[in-house]
Chains A and B, each alone.
Chain A
Amino acid sequence: MEPDKKINIKGLVCPYTFVKAKLAIEDMEIGQVLEILLDYEEASRSIPKSMEDHGHKVLKVEKINDTDWIIQVRKEKD
């Protein structure tokens, strides 16, 4: 699925990984998809969980190489 917005938060650790992801999704419209590129393993688990806690839909969590993950989230509420 082609995302509406992509952010690269490689090099960031918790909680700034989620802070950046949350600020990005806040500025989007409901129904739009955010793609997050990250390299902090813990965040590959915590961001999907936090996004769901905030009411959004996690579409994909994928390890794309030795160091990086891609997460896609669809905005479900303001």
Chain B
Amino acid sequence: MLSAQNLHLTFNPGTPIETQALRGMSLDIPAGQFVTVIGSNGAGKSTFLNAISGEQGVDSGAVLIDGEDVTRQPVWDRARKVARVFQDPMAGTCENLTIEENMSLALGRGQFRSLRQAVREEMRVLFRERLAMLGLGLENRLTDRIGLLSGGQRQAVSLLMAALRPSRILLLDEHTAALDPRTAQFVLDLTARIVAEHGLTTMMVTHSMRQALDVGDRTVMLHQGRVVLDVSGDTRRGLEVPDLLAMFEKVRGEELADDTLLLG
């Protein structure tokens, strides 16, 4: 389970381009919950995600994963608990390594790396099993360089990779944003399936209000570096995008003017 406590972060303080990215960002995600996070550009979604994964430090506040304070820990120390799928399909895999090599890397996430052979036969059995789930024939292409795959295929494999080893929190960073609508839907369905199958605590940042409501148990909306809306359970069920908009306007007293949020 994840607990972000009163995170503050300012970029370029004291300069003309000073930006307060996080202003008291707090969020508690209990184990097993699937949270979707939306917000317009500059709301702090990616910054928040990076603060949790460790790629970005914070000025004040704390990030706790399963009760452990990881705020000062670098990315590689948090990797044991944090699984992540990046927005850019190219960023989540190593282009010139093979599918099985990439998966072997993910299987060892956060583990001590020894001088044992990296890709062993019993691992291949597991990889084939998981890849078959995608229905893309990739289970027969274990020794192909992953750079040969399309963006959508790489993203699907990245998702599988994130679920190869148990995690305390799965971070999905607008992971369908770079895909065409059909592939995006495929990856989204795959996401729901994998999260349900493994009971993963998940935080999915998305640019699309539609997506945010369709998937998961709870939707959180960020605006100007903090949480402004938090809906789950009965309130959330049956909510439509216009309803979400109305809620936003009521809370903020202003209209939401970001097209991509509404049209996505």
A and B interact physically: no
Query: Residues on A close to B: CB < 8 A?
Result: none
Query: Residues on B close to A: CB < 8 A?
Result: none
